Chains A and B, each alone.
Chain A
Amino acid sequence: DSGGFQVMSLAKLRKISDDGVEFRSHIDGRKYFLSPKKSIEIQHKLDSNITMIFDECTPYPVNYEYAKKSMHLSLKWAKESKDNFIDRDGYGIFGIIQGSIFEDLRKESATKLKEIEFDGYAIGGLAVGEGHDEMLKVLDFTIPHTANHKPRYLMGVGKPIDIVASVKKGIDMFDCVLPTRSGRNGQAFITGGTLNIKNNKYISDNSPLDKNCNCYTCKNYSKAYLNHLIRSKEILGSVLMTWHNISYYQNLMRKFRKLINNGTLYEYKNEELI
C-alpha cells in the first residue's frame, strides 16, 4: 500500500497540504514528509509487484464538502503517482476510488481515474465504520464505474461475511489484518462463525478448532492445547492460530472460485458460504 492509510491512522501531528502529508513517526517522533512521488519511489525500492497510488483515505463520517475536497486531492495525487511510476513487465499500479458514501463523488472519482488509466482499481475509504449494509450500497453504485476487464480491489475488507457479500457484487481482491491480528488474540474463524479459544469451555476440549479444516493446526493440535498456549501467552499459540485463520481465509476464497466456475455461487445464502 502507499502509506497513506497508516499516516492517517497511526502518525501523530499530521498536516495535509496539496503536496503531501507531513507527519511525526509513531515510533520515534521523527518528522517525515510523504508525497505521491516519495511513496511511489519507496514502493519501487521495495520491488512491489502492485503499487498503490498515494491517496488520502477519507475518514468517516465526513460531510459532503470534505469528502469532495478529499476526493479531488486524491485525484491530483493519483496523477502524480502514475507520473512517477516506472512501468515494467510484471509490475502494475492501481488507482484508488474515494468519495466516501456519496454516489456522485464515487462516480466522478472512478471515471477520472479511468481517464488517467491504471492497471486495476481499488475502492478505498470503506471498512472505516460505515457498517456492512452501507458498504454494500456504496459498492452497488461504484462498481459499475470501474473497468470490467481490470481487477477490482476492496481495501481493508474484512470479515468473512463482508467478503462473501462483496464477492457476489464483483470484487476480485481483498486485504485485512483480521485473520492474523484477531488470531493472536485467540479468535478463530471456523465454519459458520468464530470462536474465542480463551474461553473456559475449551480447557479440556480435545477436538480440533474446525473439523472441516485441513490445516496444520487442525490436523495436529486440540482446542485444549491452543487454549493453554494463548492463555499462557506462548508464541506458538499465535503461530498456530494465525496458521489456521489464514488457511480458513484461503479455503474460503478457493471455495468462491469453485462455485463461480460452477455457476452456483448465487444459489447459496451468504451465511451458508462462510
Chain B
Amino acid sequence: MTSPASGTACSSAISRALSFKLVAECSTSKARACLITLPKCSVESPVFMPVGTKGTMKGLTSKQLEDIGFQIILGNTYHLGTNPGPELMEKANGLHDFMNWKRSILTDSGGYQMVSLLDLAEITEEGVKFASPYSDDMLLLTPERSIEIQNSIGADIIMQLDDVVASTTEGPRVEEAMHRTIRWLDRCITAHKNMHCQNLFCIVQGGLDMDLRRKCVEEIVKRDTPGIAIGGLSGGEDKQVFWKVVDLCTSLLPKNKPRYLMGVGYAVDLVVCSALGVDMYDCVYPTRTARFGTALVPWGQLRLKQSQYSMDFDPIDKNCPCLTCKTYTRAYLNSIIKQETVACHLLSIHNLTYQKQLMESIRKNIIQNTFPQFVKDFMKEMFPDGNYPQWAVDALASVNIQL
C-alpha cells in the first residue's frame, strides 16, 4: 500500500486494522458502549487501559492480566525505545511476543515522557531534542522516528507524535503546538509502514482554548485516522475547564470512531467522562498508587499503611473477586507493605481489578440503558455525605444526569 501524500485528507489513511461498532447509546447522556475490533483482540468500551510502562505491569504475569480480563494494555515508547530498544524489539518479533501478551497493545509516541521526564527537552519543528539519559549525546525524536520505533514494537494502536504543552500553559505557545501537532500528524501518516495491522490515532490539542480545540478537531478529522485521542489534559488544570473541553471534543468528533482521553484514570473522572462520550482511557494511577500502599475501593481509598489496619482481618473489599481479596486480609497487607515487594504486586492486582470492574459496570449499564441511575448510585457510594465535586455535578447536569 502506498503512503498517502502528506497534508491531504485521504481515504487510504483508513486502516483495515480496526473496525468499530456502536453497540448501545445511553438515551439520557452522551455515553456509548462500543466494540473495537483490532488485529489481536477485540476491545469492549468504555475501556480503561492499564499502563505497562517498560513492557510489564508491576509484577503481574500476563496470565494474571488476562484473568482480570484486560483486552488491551499500554506500553510506553520512550521507555521501550531506550530499553530494550527497537532493534531488539524486532529481533524478539515485537512487544506482544516479547512480553507474552496475546491481546491488544497501544503504544504512546514517546513525546509525553520526553517533556515530562527530561530536563533538557527542546522542541523544534523537526522534533523533540533531548539529552540522552544514558550518554552525553543529544538525541532527536522526530515524528518519523517515533513511528519507526512504534512500528518495531508492533502495537495494535500507535499514537502520533504530538507537540504536548502543559495544560496550564497560556499564550501563543498553545496555538503553535496545536498547529504543529497537525503537521506532525501528516508526517506520522507518511512514515507509517504498517497500516494494514497497526492503527495510527491522532491527538487533538489546543490547550484549554475552545476555539483552538474546535479548529484542531476540524483539521484533524480530515485525516480520517481510525481513532482520535484527546490530549493535553489531566495536567493539573481546573476541572471545570477540563470537562468542558472534553465535552466540546466529544460533541465535535465523529460518532463512528473511538475517542481516547489520555492520562485519565480516577474513578470519578472515568464515570463522568464516559457520560460525556469518551470510549478509552489510560492512567498509571492504579498501579502507581498500589506502590504506596493505597487500595482503591467503591467508597474511596484505603491507605493500608495506616495502623488502623494492623488488626483488621477483613479483605480490602469483601465484594471484590480479585486474588488479593480472596486470599489476604488488610492486616496481612498492612504488615508487609513497607517491606515486601509482593505487597505492591497484590495491591496492583486489586486496583486493576477494581478499575476493570468499574468499566464493566459502566458498559453494562449503558447497554441496559440504566446508566444515569448507575452514575447516581456510584456517586452516592463515593460521597455518602452528598458533597459531590461541583465540576462533576455540572458536567453530569450538562448531559441530563442530575445528582
Contacts and interface: CB of A to CB of B under 8 A. Distances in A.
B340 to A, nearest CB: 11
Contact of A216 (B61, B99, B341): B61
Contact of A236 (B56, B83, B88, B91): B56
A254 B345 CA distance: 30
Interface stretch (A6-14, A31-39, A136-144, A221-229): A221-229
A6 to B, nearest CB: 15
A220 B54 contact: no
Nearest to A243: B61
Interface in B301-348: 341, 344-345
A222 B55 CA distance: 13
A235 B59 contact: yes
Given A203-B84, A232-B83, A234-B54, A224 B60 contact: no
B92 interface: yes
A236 B344 CA distance: 11
Interface residues of A, number: 20
Nearest to A228: B84
Given A216-B61, A220-B62, A236-B60, A206 B55 contact: no
B98 interface: yes
Contacts of A237: 56
Given A216-B63, A220-B100, A225-B99, A235 B344 contact: yes
A109 interface: no
A222 B61 contact: no
Nearest to A232: B54
Contacts of B54: 228-229, 232, 234
Contact of B341 (A203, A235, A240): A235
B58 interface: yes
Contact of B98 (A224, A231, A232, A239): A224
Interface residues of B, number: 22
Contacts of A222: 92, 98
B99 A239 contact: no
A187 interface: no
A235 B346 CA distance: 12
Contact of B59 (A220, A232, A239): A239
A235 B83 contact: no
A195 B100 CA distance: 22
Given A232-B83, A235-B345, A239-B345, A204 B60 contact: no
B83 A228 contact: yes
Contacts, number: 62
B59 A236 contact: yes
Contacts of A204: 88, 91-92
A239 B100 contact: no
Interface in A85-112: none
B345 A225 contact: no
A232 B59 CA distance: 12
A239 B60 CA distance: 8
A127 B92 CA distance: 41
A264 B341 CA distance: 42
* Chain A at the B interface: SS class: helix
A70 interface: no
B188 interface: no
B307 to A, nearest CB: 15
Interface in B81-96: 83-84, 88, 91-93
A204 B93 CA distance: 11
Q: Considering residues A224, A232, A235, which has the most beta carbons from chain B within 10 angstroms of its beta carbon?
A: A235
B57 interface: yes
Given A225-B98, A225-B100, A203 B58 contact: no
A231 B98 CA distance: 15
A166 interface: no
Nearest to A225: B98
Contacts of B83: 228, 231-232
Nearest to A233: B54
Given A206-B92, A234-B54, A235-B345, A221 B100 contact: yes
A222 B100 CA distance: 9
Contacts of B59: 234-236, 238-239
Contacts of A216: 61, 63
Contacts of B56: 229, 232, 234-237
Nearest to A236: B56
Given A228-B84, A237-B56, 9 more contacts: A204-B92, A206-B93, A224-B91, A225-B100, A228-B54, A231-B83, A232-B83, A235-B345, A240-B61
12 contacts: A203-B84, A206-B92, A206-B93, A220-B61, A224-B84, A225-B92, A228-B83, A232-B83, A235-B56, A235-B59, A236-B57, A238-B59
Interface of B: 54-63, 83-84, 88, 91-93, 98-100, 341, 344-345
